[in-house]
Amino acid sequence: MTQARPERADAARNRRAILLATEELLTRLPPEQISMERIAAAAGVGKGTVFHRFGSRMGLMTALMEERALALSEAVTAGPPPLGPGAPPRERLLAFLDGVIEVVSRNKGLLAALGHAAAAAPRSEEDPQDPRPVHRLWHGHISALIAQARPDLDADLLAHLLLGSLGGEAVLRLLAQGEGKRVAASLHLLTAAVLDSPPAG
């Protein structure tokens, strides 16, 4: 089987410069003002280079979010419990929600930009799912843990509700004000209420 060719040094430098430029712009500007042209100028590359590397504004924001969320993904798959394997599903779920809150708290501007790009991106009828792979991975993990803890519940929908609660304007405002622990405590209460609910009759 043919192995993937390693990334050229100049291509790797361009990729890093584009991601860093995007991060810096997100600290200063609202998402709708961050165009591919502006990112290219800030990174010192041509606009064509940005499109070649990431395909679209959606692709660029997704790549940046994936990089930001990589540490959490690695902890889930290979880290120590309770976030990693080995702990009961309830403990893993609460630890994972804490991890998601931390990522969201550190990346509010990026999440806003990702949502803006997703809203502007065309959605094909063949692929109606959320185009954000990080969101899909988070949802899948939450859903799997709920199903392990309570096989009788609608894990897929409950995962959407728990994860979606972190995207509300009021919650994002609290996170921006440094209220992550308060948000986490309330999310723990909601999760416990779900897991401890009586079986549906």
pLDDT tens digits, one per residue of 69-120: 888 899 999 999 999 999 999 999 999 999 999 888 877 777 777 766 666 6
Q: What is the DSSP code string of 122-164? A: ---TT--S-S-HHHHHHHHHHHHHHHHH-TTS-HHHHHHHHHH
pLDDT at residue 137 is higher than 90? no
- Top pLDDT among 119 and 14 is at 14
Which CATH number describes the domain made up of 57-195? 1.10.357.10
Average pLDDT across the chain, whole number: 85
Residues 45-63 have a mean pLDDT of 90
CA-wise closest residue to 60 among 95, 33, 20: 20
Torsion on CA atoms 8, 77, 97, 167, rounded to nearest 10: 30
pLDDT at residue 123 is higher than 60? no
What's the fold here for domain 1-55? Arc Repressor Mutant, subunit A (1.10.10)
Helix (H, G, I), strand (E, B) or coil at 168: coil
Name the packing angle between helices 108-120 and 57-78 (round to 10°).
Answer: 130
Domain range summary for the chain, segments of one domain joined by +: 1-55, 57-195
Residues 169-185 have a mean pLDDT of 89
Residues 45-67 have a mean pLDDT of 89
Distance (Å, whole) CA 74 – CA 83: 10
Question: Sorting pLDDT into bands at 50, 70 and 90, what band is 126?
Answer: very low
9-23, 122-136, 178-192: least confidently modelled range: 122-136
Per DSSP, 32 falls in state: G
Tokens of 136: 């899909």
Distance (Å, whole) CA 146 – CA 139: 11
